[in-house]
Structure 1
């Protein structure tokens, strides 16, 4: 019999309607226990993947399942329920930067603004759940290759600027530093030809995000291969 304390939510109750009471199973007790175990496993899979919808319909990996479960718990047990109810992520990665792990969570582009409305609170709650590891959110964007003579004849539709490599990389940078705004950039070219982009951020957000700028730089290099550093210059009068 399903323990009331661990009974599934009402919207998954149909999974358990046909399950016989284990007290009445008699000789089929083992079969009943196996059925119950399988149903509970299926229910766990349903709930674990409830907050992630991967592009192409592939199954989430174990770490993505943990992130999805954490988001589901926040939806069920916090005042973020109303906002999280209609939102989902598309993938998640854990990377190591300077000996410390950081978490990148990807969200659908159409849902980015909704995530950003609760992002400060959401990041704080997730970092508590994942041992203080820094959490960043970025939209999952697709870069379209630069058209060639052959592709121009096949694809009559012009490539949107938002799908160019430069636009996508700029958007990733803006996502990473949110809620701070980028107020300027300077590109430094080294003697060996390599480049470092110095990104100027809104000084009013310095106390909120300064402790994360190394994470932002590391994540950005992992995602784009480009080096950036961050500064908080005094505003011009």
Structure 2
């Protein structure tokens, strides 16, 4: 039997960045063969690990090679799971349910990867990936840092705010928050932050209609109640997606923040 995070296949993928190699990988996750994208700087040597956890579900919010290469160009080995059931992977994605194991296993992949500096793996989540990043960092006490950018922190709040997502949530969770509160709580990291050890950076646009900034406010408030190491960067003029130039600037800044931890 394979161990979680073990790479089963690795194939070259066209890279949009001349300084970065990209690969599609198949790795073992809780008994399933799951797919993901791996990015490595072309320059020889070891680098800190960067686990990129995407938002959306299925065809919405797929991993973008240019985005993964962007983070790798900042000096990281980047692993971005597609999550189970996507792009040829086995199983079915269930929005921070059992598919959290795909993030946990990808974290193990990075920790054991031959070019990742020992013990230095950061976790990044965008949108729905915020929940995945927090759950991964709660599960793994040795995470170096965690960044939530426009991230979901409260699945009850997502159900309330995103009427357009209620059918999907009821399908993957099994019903409404009223009928199955324990399932929504299990998917809400706010209830488990006492177990988090890694420092947290929160990034959010105040005009975000996809994931309201209330998610970040609640996360920040709870972390501060716990006297946790947390920093918040809020942007008044931006929504879920930042303008390209500002996006690049923030990526450079968050990379520096990670490497300082």
- Greater helix proportion: 1
TM-score normalized by structure 1? 0.33
Q: Which has the higher contact order (CA 8 A, sep 6+)?
A: 2
Which of 1 and 2 has greater Rg? Answer: 1
- Greater strand proportion: 2
